[in-house]
């Protein structure tokens, strides 16, 4: 029987300028729907997991279109509440070479930001679930969303569900101080933590020595230490850290490491020519969760996650749309990109 | 020397589905920027008026793109404040035949909605101005916007500037009760009022007898009476009422009447095969203001306004982009649509 | 609890030239997925029915994309078999004025055309179902599809499920002789029949006197007689006939009649300015089924169906995407197409 | 064996704004290639005629793309000279309802405008030809083009080829005085003349009484008289006059009459909902030439021409792309626009 | 006088997702027409060869559009039969970086697959021809197509025409066993063979030692041996092998070698940043045939072919559209990509 | 107060094929407006300079659209003359990898090419101005344009305005001999000269030794000498030379050097993955002028200019649209292209 995974958070209308247009040039926007936890659910749905995304959407046509988008990609929408006034929006300008991609959020006062404790029936939601995933964005969007997140992790724990969290620090949403406080309260219920090369420092002040994110000089040993500190401080089962080496907006190195309290695993590194890098981290989380739930070893799961997210960088939109076979082919070493007929 | 007209209000990002797609089908949105008062300014700029649009836009790229859009169409942006967090959005689904166009607003908490009295230097803004135009939408967007509107009309009056107001009732923004109260307070400073066939009733409870808006049976005599009541109650100089006969979303009859306290003028009626009907009323206001400022007789100005707005219905986007010559050709009877080479 | 309706048939990739391009001009095709029974399911899903579409799709990405498309529009895909080689294709060139729309089918040897009896578990499929709908296209696509259709209607009857059939004669798929033979065998299990102004003649030789389809002169009394003959010959419960008056490819009259063995009901007639007329008949069937299942009177259901399908003509693609409220507004007489804000 | 028809003139890059955009709004232009005589050749190629278009195109990629475009639509390009600097351009803004379509020419100094007598080998070109067609645009583009046109008609006459001319007056290219002088010189070699409701007056001062082109009030008897005067003054074999009733840019009435020195024929009139009306007259010429060359009676040829050009109005671009069967179906009365499956 | 080359095979509608979309994301497909032998003809037409493509296309609009597409690019369509039911389709998803391009064929039962011996008049077709080219795809599409291919090569030989064959093994169409048998029968009539790094092994079991296609480690000496074995086994005049080093879907190395029984030539290697790599091999064949027919030395012809196909990788669609000058510039060492003004 | 800069020259309609299409493939062109001096003005407007572009545009809709485009990007259009017949056009095919971008000019006889001395009121134009910029294209477009350029530089000098000139040699517009003569006459009034690696040689015969532009081997010392010779020969204040290393159409190295008569500065070099390289040199000029006018040191201004133009290569269209902050971030070393949220 398919595993059941629940993810909870905000989904937004993503309005991206076509090609490499700057926003001032755009006379149309490509419209998809995206958000950290929905992105993870999309990955999982592709791998055959019963992936439920929990959120609150306005009843009007934009909310309906968002729900239809989720359904299209196989995400279960049964627990979504249809209420509230607005869906958040994010504008995306895709960068190239030395010009970075730029994201402008217009997400305040969304339906999910105004959610109140007690609105979701977490007991029903976690019934039969294997894993619950959220990111650090969800508690950051509003105080009440933070409360509902706490409600959710407690209910998950009570239901015996594994809890996974991607730290995903967003400086536009809260300060490091507030993030530290809120996230520390949630960590008690968390089993797996995923972070990128900046999150641990920004949220918990745990810094890798000898690294410079901007130049892409990512010192492995520093991040091993970060993983260990995270795991120990919060009594986690596993910590995974993604390592992005940003040579430019067009070309990145991409790898990750995982620490399970006993062993460190370092994945293969992929040099990626980028089509769309937004959602890259979420596709890693989706791959890792699938790997761990489907019985892979920690090392295999890590390699699966990195290969899956490598492929994500070649797909427009936040969602990763790759099959298990495609990921495994890449893990097995076929990165040749030869035409498949 | 060119006349100077100031308009004040909210402008939004207009996200329209391409063709006749419903929102659920859209994978992109056509992006323009629009709002009642900006639309009027666009009309006026086409006619050679120095048309200033006053508003508040966020500093980020979406705000900048909006300002650039205004500049493109010749609107003066000198008095626009660049501050605040968000630009309002409206989603548009263009209807056809029996299916109405649908507008979904996501405009709460926009930069302009959060404007505070004292932020604009009205004295400077109205220096040398000939006319100030606003619509009933501006005071409806927030209490503070209403206060700033009052501030504006008072300053305009003080500066000896003609004040024109399009009632433009929006039921999603306020109730008839509130509209009545706020708008009545503003009317004291208003010279010209423009209304469509519903506004006077919804805002001031002044109803045309024997009419049914939905069937398009627009009884002329009823609306003459509405115009007179409006003019008399608020000591106005002129009242113009647009008369839309909605045969369907694709085909409308379009005409207007004007009362100046002495004479009633009824315009020619145009049967229009519609390309984009949003902004039709604003293009009427723009035409009327131009006509009156440029020395046309009331009747001529009315015919100019109706012909101008007839043409607007054939142009995608809210803005009317027609020249004086094009309007005058239509006024002169050439609605044949013969190719001009 | 939501009603459960099952529809069964072929769905194809619909490749439509953009705008009014002829096929020779096209450098891209707009891609959707469509087919008579899937179209009906789409209508029903919009109205809150649990609408299951049963078919067979190839496993490859085109088959998957088709399934995702169905899911997006709320159609349940649980019973779809993923197997076989190809998805049928239909090319569409949208006509205008005197130039008719043109459909080119490339559907032979599709996965569903090669279905074999015994592949579907009809007992499970019809468990809890309220109605089964198919069209005359399904048995026409291949002999084995005809056998599976017979299997289905028998199972439906056995499960106490109402059976509805849209005759939908397709001359490219079979001859009148063969259609007559096969469809007559299926009619024994059918409760409701839907037909357009040509089907009854082409399939069963039941002809309306005094009518000429091409000129749009649709004689009502002739079609009443057709309905009665159909009902009596096959012991049906209800017969509905859609009446299209083709003034041109751009403008049609659209109405329908229903006979239930006791009363004849004639619907209101809509004059429609057409956006996309393909799928119009299916949206009628969807509306009628919804009306009848949801407890409307026969006359109300007929009006609901005609109003729903009137709206379909304004929406690109085969699927009708309208809400119950939108249909009821039109039934209630608001065809004015006024902007809804 | 297929008939051979030669047409001679200018072809331009046609840059049309998408949808109903005004030029100021356009961020892209739809690109096709078009010109009166090439349009006629395109029609003829569709009907199976060996249609040669003679012109001069620059060697560079734009000239090559133009030649490829001609080839795509079956036009023979064997006699086209590849030389010179530029291809003319015309910008097109498609009108709707009361807003006329607008054409801006940028055609001066094109390769063909600079053609010199002696550059074309007319003897070879007319070898085996049945008919030569040109329009009044060709001699108008430059004095040397006028000389080459004269060269061509003389050579055609010498080769025993029927000569057909569409008057096609263009006020931006020359005055009525000059047109009269040049065209009168060419008429001596012409057998068939085609004109629209304005041409005869503008070129030769032959005016229909009691008509007003702008209001669409086209008096039949007036145009009969024009046809007779034309035929008699220039000793023509046949004169055809197209009659466009411009209700608006979206809807036109369309018919024609033909006079052969003995009988007047008046065609059926079509009321057309317009997609693209540019090239309408050329598609009439193409239809008429085909009809006459293929042995139809004058009346049949006229009806064929009108039906063909009626269909042209529903096709984007200047070229008519309809088959003989499609035209004959419409001639036979099927203007119902019913979907053809 | 221009050389005459005949190519024979299947052409399909190519439906490619725009940008880097996956098929599930696509709401439109870019439509071109493509197939191995048509691609070669397109190359040759660009170089001034009289390039005839022989196939069978359905009479309907899709078949006609395909023929028009061929004509546009200068390919002679005189010998194409217009008959049969369908044109094959292939779906293309363009890959990037580690994600390979994916091709889904839907080509069974196409008009050309159902061709019967005797349908083409090969004697006429080869009259005056200099070279006949086919690929291993043509005999693979059906048994009867294989028979017609044999018919063709025999007729070519009889007419004294050089025969060229690109092995082009397609595992979806036949097994290595069958390919070996059928192709061996055809080889007797072949003069030139072109193969990629896999074909010789898959079709004839002739394997290059010490190479690994997936890693791009292409051992030159291994392929020299393959060329020799091919040449000797089938008494060929020349064998060319293309060598693709797939670093990723975005970047490839590209070179080739040629053996003429006496000398081995190895071309320059190009590192290519890929726009569209489908049709790359065919553009090599087109370049090689042109080079050899136009009197280049074997080495020059090889360099011409590799440079031509290098350029193909930068052009969307299967067809190569480059001039002789462009190829020669690259051969001469200008790969700088500096803007040409 | 903002600095005032005036630029003078030709602006054209830029018609670019979408994606990497060749011109023969294009069915639409992306339309922007571009020209060396307008491009510089666009850069400056982004940096807050009052940037006036002086030219002559036809009054018709294409001229108006061009002016609106300038306004959109913040360029002052007050001094533009609206008169004349045509706007020049340039066609652009964007290259990739070994295939160069190709530009086809159709600019002869444009409104600005026909400008006459005395038409511009230079005294008014230069009133309050800080700098005047033109390129070697302006005097090349026609003899009268050369005269007006001379008129302009003299007036600038008289008004005490700094004069800057980008040599920008265009071999399609004039010969080296003529360029030398005309440009030498203008140099007397010039303070700053900007050139690329070829200009100095082509215009003034000043050649860098030991360099090969095509292979991208740009010898620094050679260009230092070129700069010195230029400065000394024409008594310039500063000479800047951009150094493009064309690895391919997709990847370039980009740097520059500046000589002020005392010191040589060599900028950082950027390796750029190119989106659109046309306008790259102009964005360098814009950056340099801004840097120098805003009080940066020569070295800083050079680095600002190179960083700014590096970013330009990632933006579609000729105009650079980057903020001072974006340029400074890159100057400060952040070329990582990390997403900015």
pLDDT digits (tens, 9 = 90+) for B274-317: 999 999 999 999 999 999 999 999 999 999 999 999 999 999 99
pLDDT mean over E105-126: 98
pLDDT in tens, E85-102: 999 999 999 999 999 999
User: Which residues of chain B make contact with F72, given a CB cutoff of 8 A?
Assistant: 68-69, 71-72
Q: Tell me if E21 sits within 8 A of E67, measured CB to CB.
A: no
Q: Taking 70 as the threshold, does the pLDDT of residue A169 lie above it?
A: yes
Average pLDDT over chain D, rounded to an integer: 96
Domains, chain A, ordered by start: 4-330 (3.40.1190.20)
When CB atoms are compared, the residue of F27, F86, F108 closest to D30 is F27
Please answer yes or no on whether C30 and E31 come within 8 Å at the CB atom.
no
How does residue E213 score in pLDDT terms, banded at 50, 70 and 90?
low
pLDDT mean over B257-283: 97
User: Which residues of chain D make contact with B274, given a CB cutoff of 8 A?
Assistant: 97
Q: Taking 70 as the threshold, does the pLDDT of residue C215 lie above it?
A: no
User: F237 to chain A, minimum CA–CA distance in Å?
Assistant: 31
Tokens 């040599």 map to which residue?
Answer: F167
How does residue C212 score in pLDDT terms, banded at 50, 70 and 90?
low
User: Which residues of chain C make contact with E106, given a CB cutoff of 8 A?
Assistant: 62, 85-87, 89
How does residue A1 score in pLDDT terms, banded at 50, 70 and 90?
confident
How does residue A218 score in pLDDT terms, banded at 50, 70 and 90?
low
pLDDT in tens, C276-309: 999 999 999 999 999 999 999 999 999 999 999 9
**DSSP 8-state class, residue A56:** E
Percent of chain C with pLDDT over 70: 97
Q: Are strands D4-8 and B102-106 parallel, antiparallel or unpaired?
A: unpaired
Please answer yes or no on whether D72 and E68 come within 8 Å at the CB atom.
yes
Please answer yes or no on whether F98 and E270 come within 8 Å at the CB atom.
yes
Nearest residue of A to residue B67 by CA position? A24
Q: Tell me if E317 sits within 8 A of F79, measured CB to CB.
A: no
Q: Taking 60 as the threshold, does the pLDDT of residue A216 lie above it?
A: no
Percent of chain B with pLDDT over 70: 97
Query: For an interface test with E, which of C31, C106, C172 has the most E Cβ atoms less than 10 Å from its Cβ?
Result: C106
pLDDT score of B213: 53
**Any alpha helices (H) in A136-265, and if so which ranges?**
137-140, 143-158, 176-187, 199-204, 220-234
B270 near A CB under 8 A:
no
Q: Taking 70 as the threshold, does the pLDDT of residue F214 lie above it?
A: no
Please answer yes or no on whether C74 and A71 come within 8 Å at the CB atom.
yes
Q: Find residue A12's DSSP bridge partners.
A: A34
pLDDT mean over D156-168: 98
A220 near E CB under 8 A:
no
Which chains border D (3 or more CB–CB pairs < 8 Å)?
B, C, E, F
Please answer yes or no on whether A321 and E215 come within 8 Å at the CB atom.
no
User: E279 to chain D, minimum CA–CA distance in Å?
Assistant: 21
User: F279 to chain D, minimum CA–CA distance in Å?
Assistant: 18
CA distance linking residue C137 with residue C141, whole number of Å: 6
Q: Taking 70 as the threshold, does the pLDDT of residue C218 lie above it?
A: no
Q: Taking 80 as the threshold, does the pLDDT of residue D216 lie above it?
A: no
Please report the number of interchain residue pairs, chain A to chain E, with beta-carbon separation below 8 angstroms.
91
User: Which residues of chain A make contact with E251, given a CB cutoff of 8 A?
Assistant: 273
Nearest residue of E to residue F247 by CA position? E336
Q: Are strands C28-34 and E28-34 parallel, antiparallel or unpaired?
A: antiparallel
pLDDT mean over A272-282: 97
pLDDT mean over E252-264: 97
Please answer yes or no on whether B25 and C326 come within 8 Å at the CB atom.
no
Going from the C-alpha of B250 to that of each of B276, B308, B313, C273, C327, the distances in angstroms are: 9, 19, 10, 7, 18
Q: Are strands E81-82 and C50-54 parallel, antiparallel or unpaired?
A: unpaired
E248 near A CB under 8 A:
yes
3-state DSSP of chain E: CCCEEEEECCCEEEEECCCCCCHHHCCEEEEEEECHHHHHHHHHHHCCCEEEEECEECCCHHHHHHHHHHHHCCCECCCCEECCCCCCEEEEECCECCECCEEEEECCCCCHHHCCCCCCCHHHHHCCCCEEEEECCHHHCCHHHHHHHHHHHHHHHHCCCEEEEECCCCCCCCCHHHHHHHHHHHHCCCCEEEECCCHHHHHHCCCCCCCEHHHCECCHHHHHHHHHHHHHHHCCCEEEEEEEEECCCCEEEEEEEEECCCCEEECCCEEEECCCCCCHHHHHHHHHHHHHHCCCCHHHHHHHHHHHHHHHCCCCCCCCCCCHHHHHHHHCCCCCCCCEC
3-state DSSP of chain F: CCCEEEEECCCEEEEECCCCCCHHHCCEEEEEEECHHHHHHHHHHHCCCEEEEECEECCCHHHHHHHHHHHHCCCECCCCEECCCCCCEEEEECCECCECCEEEEECCCCCCCCCCCCCCCHHHHHCCCCEEEEECCHHHCCHHHHHHHHHHHHHHHHCCCEEEEECCCCCCCCCHHHHHHHHHHHHCCCCEEEECCCHHHHHHCCCCCCCEHHHCECCHHHHHHHHHHHHHHHCCCEEEEEEEEECCCCEEEEEEEEECCCCEEECCCEEEECCCCCCHHHHHHHHHHHHHHCCCCHHHHHHHHHHHHHHHCCCCCCCCCCCHHHHHHHHCCCCCCCCEC
B103 near A CB under 8 A:
no
pLDDT mean over C26-44: 98
How does residue F212 score in pLDDT terms, banded at 50, 70 and 90?
low
CA distance linking residue D42 with residue D53, whole number of Å: 9
CA distance linking residue D97 with residue B314, whole number of Å: 7
Q: DSSP strand E in chain C: where?
A: 4-8, 12-16, 28-34, 50-54, 56-57, 81-82, 89-93, 102-106, 131-135, 162-166, 192-195, 238-246, 251-259, 264-266, 270-273
How does residue E129 score in pLDDT terms, banded at 50, 70 and 90?
very high
User: A31 to chain E, minimum CA–CA distance in Å?
Assistant: 12
pLDDT score of C213: 53
Least confident of A228-237, B205-214, E332-341: B205-214
User: Which residues of chain C make contact with B105, given a CB cutoff of 8 A?
Assistant: 341
Which chains border E (3 or more CB–CB pairs < 8 Å)?
A, C, D, F
pLDDT mean over E24-39: 98
Please answer yes or no on whether F104 and D18 come within 8 Å at the CB atom.
no
Q: Taking 80 as the threshold, does the pLDDT of residue B216 lie above it?
A: no
Helices vs. strands in chain C: H and E counts, helices first: 10, 15
Average pLDDT over chain F, rounded to an integer: 96
Q: Tell me if E218 sits within 8 A of E229, measured CB to CB.
A: no
pLDDT score of E219: 65
**Is the whole model's pTM more than 0.95, yes or no?**
yes
Q: Taking 90 as the threshold, does the pLDDT of residue B221 lie above it?
A: no
Average pLDDT over chain C, rounded to an integer: 96
Q: Taking 60 as the threshold, does the pLDDT of residue C256 lie above it?
A: yes
Question: Which is catalytic among the residues B166, B199, B282, B318?
Answer: B282
Q: Supply φ then ψ for residue A311, to 5 degrees.
A: -65, -40
Q: Taking 80 as the threshold, does the pLDDT of residue F101 lie above it?
A: yes
Residues 6 or more apart whose CB falls under 8 angstroms from that of E227 comprise E239, E240, E241, E257, E258, E259, E264
User: Which residues of chain B make contact with D248, given a CB cutoff of 8 A?
Assistant: 273, 335-337
Q: Are strands A89-93 and A102-106 parallel, antiparallel or unpaired?
A: antiparallel
Q: Taking 80 as the threshold, does the pLDDT of residue F115 lie above it?
A: yes
One DSSP character per residue, B173-242 reads T--HHHHHHHHHHHHTT-SEEEE-TTHHHHHH----TT-BGGGTB--HHHHHHHHHHHHHHHT-SEEEEE
When CB atoms are compared, the residue of C274, C316, C334 closest to B214 is C334
Please answer yes or no on whether B72 and F74 come within 8 Å at the CB atom.
no
Which chains border A (3 or more CB–CB pairs < 8 Å)?
B, C, E, F
| Three-state secondary-structure class, residue B138 | helix
Q: Read off the tokens for C149.
A: 């259709």
Q: DSSP strand E in chain A: where?
A: 4-8, 12-16, 28-34, 50-54, 56-57, 81-82, 89-93, 102-106, 131-135, 162-166, 192-195, 238-246, 251-259, 264-266, 270-273
pLDDT score of A227: 97
Q: Tell me if C289 sits within 8 A of C133, measured CB to CB.
A: yes
pLDDT score of F59: 97
**Any alpha helices (H) in chain D, and if so which ranges?**
36-46, 61-72, 122-126, 143-158, 176-187, 199-204, 220-234, 280-293, 298-312, 324-331
B31 near A CB under 8 A:
yes
Question: Which is catalytic among the residues D50, D166, D282, D318?
Answer: D282
A155-194 residues touching F, CB cutoff 8 A: 170-172
pLDDT score of B210: 61
Q: Is F282 a catalytic residue?
A: yes
Please answer yes or no on whether B108 and A108 come within 8 Å at the CB atom.
no
pLDDT in tens, B222-239: 999 999 999 999 999 999
Please answer yes or no on whether D314 and C249 come within 8 Å at the CB atom.
yes
Please answer yes or no on whether F68 and B72 come within 8 Å at the CB atom.
yes
For residue E195, the number of C-alpha atoms closer than 13 Å in the C-beta half-sphere is: 28
Please answer yes or no on whether D64 and F102 come within 8 Å at the CB atom.
no
User: Which residues of chain E make contact with C71, given a CB cutoff of 8 A?
Assistant: none
The catalytic site residues of E sit at: 282
pLDDT mean over B188-195: 98
pLDDT mean over D123-143: 98
CA distance linking residue F183 with residue F205, whole number of Å: 12
Q: Taking 90 as the threshold, does the pLDDT of residue F323 lie above it?
A: yes
Please report the number of interchain residue pairs, chain E to chain F, with beta-carbon separation below 8 angstroms.
92
Q: Taking 70 as the threshold, does the pLDDT of residue C214 lie above it?
A: no
CA distance linking residue E146 with residue E153, whole number of Å: 11
pLDDT mean over E45-54: 98
């Amino acid at each position: 029987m398919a595993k059941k995974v629940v993810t909870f958070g905000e989904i937004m209308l993503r309005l991206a300028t076509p090609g490499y247009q700057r926003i001032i040039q755009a006379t149309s926007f490509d419209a998809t729907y995206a958000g950290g936890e929905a992105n993870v659910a999309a990955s999982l749905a592709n791998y055959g997991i019963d992936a439920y995304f929990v959120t609150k959407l306005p009843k009007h046509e934009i909310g309906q279109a968002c729900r239809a988008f989720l359904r299209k990609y196989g995400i279960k929408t049964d627990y979504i509440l249809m209420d509230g006034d607005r869906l958040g929006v994010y504008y995306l300008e895709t960068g190239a070479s030395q010009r970075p991609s730029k994201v402008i959020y217009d997400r305040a006062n969304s339906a999910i930001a105004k959610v109140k404790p007690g609105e979701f029936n977490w007991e029903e939601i976690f019934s039969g679930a294997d894993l619950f995933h959220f990111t650090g964005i969800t508690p950051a969007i509003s105080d009440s969303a933070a409360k509902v997140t706490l409600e959710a992790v407690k209910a998950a724990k009570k239901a015996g569900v594994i809890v996974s969290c991607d730290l995903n620090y967003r400086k536009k949403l809260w300060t490091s101080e507030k993030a530290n406080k809120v996230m520390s309260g949630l960590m008690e219920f968390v089993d797996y933590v995923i972070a990128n090369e900046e999150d641990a420092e920004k949220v918990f002040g745990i810094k890798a020595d000898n690294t410079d994110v901007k130049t892409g000089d990512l010192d492995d040993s520093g991040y091993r230490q970060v993983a260990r500190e995270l795991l120990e401080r919060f009594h986690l089962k596993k910590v995974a850290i993604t390592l992005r080496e940003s040579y430019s907006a067009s070309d990145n190195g991409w790898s990750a490491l995982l620490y399970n309290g006993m062993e460190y695993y370092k994945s293969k590194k992929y040099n990626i020519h980028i089509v769309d890098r937004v959602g890259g981290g979420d596709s890693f989380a989706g791959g890792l969760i699938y790997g761990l739930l489907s019985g892979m070893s920690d090392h295999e799961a890590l390699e699966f996650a990195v290969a899956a997210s490598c492929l994500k960088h070649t797909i427009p939109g936040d969602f990763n749309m790759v099959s298990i076979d495609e990921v495994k082919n890449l893990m097995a070493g076929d990165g040749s990109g030869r035409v498949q007929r």
